[in-house]
Structure 1
Amino acid sequence: MVADRRLRAALHSRGVMVGRHRLRTLMRNNGIRPVWKRKFIHTTNSHHTLPIAENVLNRQFEPAAMNRAWVADIT
């Protein structure tokens, strides 16, 4: 656990010697929980005012001629 290592290092720099298991027990007993940095941030915003492309294919998957409709799969 990274948080208890940082706390242990901070205590050690102040002259307080405590073992990592003892520190974890003290943190648990006092309700101290580490704050984790988020690893992934959702960037999709569905509530925007940007223009949305028109659905010109309108689920007609058999175009009248070749090279008239191109599709892609972003999944």
Structure 2
Amino acid sequence: MINVQRSQDRYSADHGWLKSRFSFSFADYYDPDNMSFGPMRVLNDDWIAESEGFGMHPHREMEIVIVGE
């Protein structure tokens, strides 16, 4: 079964400098019925304000893709 998840229907978070839409449970958002897709655990669309960002922190077995405007 395929579950189509429209962007506007996904959980969103707005922290001012960071706006996110989550595809799966992540951070403060928890949905036990939507934890992952196979081995994929996180798939977020993030908007990060210019000259802002995350401090250094480790990731294991993860790819981060950044697309600029």
TM-score tier (shorter): under 0.3
**Highest Rg: 1 or 2?**
1
| TM-score of the pair, normalised by structure 2 | 0.20
Normalization by structure 1: what TM-score? 0.19
Higher helix share: 1
Structure with a larger share of its residues in strand: 2
